[in-house]
Structure 1
Amino acid sequence: MITSSAAHLRIELETPHLLAEKLNAIVSSAWPSGEYDQDAMAFFLTCFEEGGDAAQGWYGWYAIDIDSLSGARTLVGSGGYFGPPDNNGVVEIGYSVLPQWQRLGYATEIVKMLVSHAFSFAKTKCIIAHSGPQNEASQKVLIATGFKEVGIDEGNLRFELKINT
Structure 2
Amino acid sequence: MRAMSGDHLTEAVAGCAAVLGGALERDWGAVRAGSLEWDCHATAVHLADDLLSYAANLAGRARDAYVPFELTLDAGTGNAGLLHVIETTGALLAAAVRTAPPGVRAFHPYPFGSADREGFAAMGVAEALLHTHDIAQGLGVAYEPSADLAESVLDWLFPHVQPGPAPWPTLLWATGRGELPGRAPVTGWRWRNNLVIPAERLTLTGLRPAVARDLALGGDGGFTWLEGGPYEGTREAAGFMVKAYEAGVHRPEFGVFALVRHEDGRAVGGIGFHGAPDEEGRVEIGYDLTEGARGRGYATEALRALTGWALARDDVGSVLATVERTNTPSQAVVTRAGFVPVAHEDAAGAELAYELRP
| Whole-angstrom CA distance in 2 between matches of 1:144 and 1:80 | 18
Q: List alignment gaps of at least 5 residues for structure 2.
A: 1-203
| Aligned-pair CA distance for 1:160 | 0.6
Counterpart residue number, 1:65: 261
Q: 1:84 is paired with a residue of what secondary structure?
A: coil
Q: CA RMSD in A?
A: 1.8
- Match for 2:320 among 97, 117, 128? 128
2:209 aligns with 6
Between structures 1 and 2, the one with greater helix share: 2
- 1:41 offset after TM fit, Å? 2.4
User: Is 2:229 the counterpart of 1:31?
Assistant: yes
Secondary structure of the 1:143 match is helix
Residue 297 (structure 2) aligned to one of 100, 105, 108: 105
Structure with more relative contact order (C-alpha pairs < 8 Å, separation 6 or more): 1
What percentage of aligned pairs have identical amino acids? Answer: 24
1:156 maps to 2:354: no
Are the equivalent residues in 2 in contact too, given 1:5–1:48 (CA < 8 A)? no
- Determine which of 59, 82, 95 is the counterpart of 2:274: 82
Question: How many pairs were matched up?
Answer: 151
Q: Once the 2 structures are TM-superposed, how far is the Cα of residue 134 of structure 1 from its aligned partner?
A: 1.5
In structure 2, distance between residues paired with 1:139 and 1:14 = 30
For the residue of structure 1 that corresponds to 2:234, the secondary structure is coil
Q: Give, in whole Å, the separation in 2 of the partners of 1:156 and 1:62.
A: 25
Using the TM superposition, give the Cα deviation of residue 66 of structure 1 relative to its aligned residue in structure 2, in angstroms: 2.2
Distance in 2 (alpha carbons) for counterparts of 1:11 and 1:35: 14
Q: Per-residue CA shift, 1:94-152, capped at 9, x if unaligned? A: 00011110010100111011101211211111110011111111111111111001134
1:44 equivalent to 2:247? Answer: no
2:357 maps to a residue whose letter is: K
Q: Hey, what does 2:332 align to over in structure 1?
A: 140
How does the TM-score come out when normalised to structure 1? 0.83
**CA offsets, 1:20-65, max 9 Å, x none?**
xx33xx2245223153334x3221112133136xx11211000011
8 Å contact from structure 2 (residues 300, 333) kept in 1:
yes
| Separation in structure 1 between the aligned mates of residue 227 and residue 268 of structure 2, nearest angstrom | 12
Change (3 A) 1:29 1:85: same
Higher fraction of strand: 1
Cα distance in 2, alignment partners of residues 73 and 84 from structure 1 = 29
The 8 Å contact of residues 34 and 97 in structure 1, kept in 2 or not, is answered as no
Greater radius of gyration (CA): 2
Structure 1's consecutive aligned runs of 4 or more residues displaced over 4 angstroms after TM superposition are none
Q: Which residue identity lines up with residue 33 of structure 1 in the other structure?
A: Y
Gaps of 5+ in 1: none
Cα distance change of structure 1 residues 15 and 140 upon mapping to structure 2, 3 Å threshold: closer
- Paired with 1:156 and 1:15, the residues of 2 have a C-alpha distance of 28
Does the aligned pair in 2 maintain the 1:3–1:62 contact within 8 Å? Answer: yes
Cα separation, partners in 2 of 1:114 and 1:153, compared to 1, 3 Å: farther
